[in-house]
Amino acid sequence: MNLLSKVGSYDFLVEPFHCDFSNRIFLGHLGNHLLNAADFHSNERGYGMDYLNTVHKTWVLSRFVMEMEKMPKAYDHITVDTWVEGVMRFFTSRNYAIRDTNGECLGYGRSIWAMIDTDTRQPVDILAERDGLITKYIETDKPCPIQPFQRVKLSKEARCQRIVDTYYSDVDVNGHINSVKYIEHILDLWDLDFYRHNRLQRFDIAYVAESHCGDKLHLFVDEAGEGEFCVQVMKQTTEDASDLKEVCRCKVKFVKE
């Protein structure tokens, strides 16, 4: 069997309607580029969604970290490198590097994925799929210098800052609320004036459970330090607003412009 390279590189154009008021790409759209690169990389190597869907399985995102030194601007051409750093029975870790056309690294990403059965929604053994094909693509020599996912702990001071309804456009191919949609809802907690004076440097998010179209998302915020915030997203699936279940939690770090 002829194996492809362990690291995949994919080119993207930063389209202007994917950028904010400062002409920089929205983090959510940049996150989509990273997730698309992961999809292309895994499909080309035989363990992606194209194959998994035929056997009623899929990948779901469990942890996601992005740390940026510089955000790409409208019409920039960027390259996303992605590679699998490690594989365990139920989880695999995948890294990313974002480069500009001069080869300068603008930032990095880390992610942890689980494989689930689409009928039972339960985790399945990644190593049993295609005789452990994914293990042939583990790359441990390429550095990813950012810290892994940081544990998020909210204090008792956390308060619900917003309740968000979910609709058709929030739902992805897996039938649940898209992972990037949570990022967008969380970043909407701060107003335009805040973003005029603060740049988003790092975003850590852990996905705990699925939510679905029609669920109400309650966003709780806790200030963890200067420019650092912890956010917990809870879902309301019934008429009882006190009946909440955790969906995800994240830590957001801003630096002064």
Domain boundaries, the chain: 8-137, 159-256
What does the pLDDT average to over 169-185? 93
Residue 174 has pLDDT above 90, yes or no: no
CATH T-level fold of 8-137: Thiol Ester Dehydrase; Chain A (3.10.129)
Q: Please state, as a whole number, how many other Cβ atoms lie within 10 Å of the Cβ of residue 153.
A: 12
Residues contacting residue 70 through CB under 8 Å, at least 6 positions apart: 106, 107
Tell which CATH architecture fits domain 159-256: Roll (3.10)
- pTM of this prediction? 0.94
Burial class (CB in 10 A: 0-12, 13-18, 19+), 197: exposed
Q: What is the Cα–Cα distance from 8 to 41, expressed in whole angstroms?
A: 6
CB 233 within 8 A of CB 213: no
CB 227 within 8 A of CB 254: yes
Which pLDDT score, from 0 to 100, does residue 150 have?
87
Percent of the chain with pLDDT over 90: 95
The mean predicted confidence, pLDDT, of the chain is 96
What does the pLDDT average to over 121-142? 96
Percent of the chain with pLDDT over 70: 100
SS (H, E, C) the chain: CCCCCCCEEEEEECCHHHECCCCEECHHHHHHHHHHHHHHHHHHCCCCHHHHHHHCEEEEEEEEEEEECCCCECCCEEEEEEEEEEECCCEEEEEEEEECCCCCEEEEEEEEEEEEECCCCCECCHHHHHHHHHHHHECCCCCCCCCCCCCCCCCCCCEEEEEEECCHHHECCCCCECHHHHHHHHHCCCCHHHHHHEEEEEEEEEECCCCCCCCEEEEEEEEEECCEEEEEEEEECCCCCCCEEEEEEEEEEEEEC
Residue 114 has pLDDT above 80, yes or no: yes
Which pLDDT score, from 0 to 100, does residue 236 have?
97
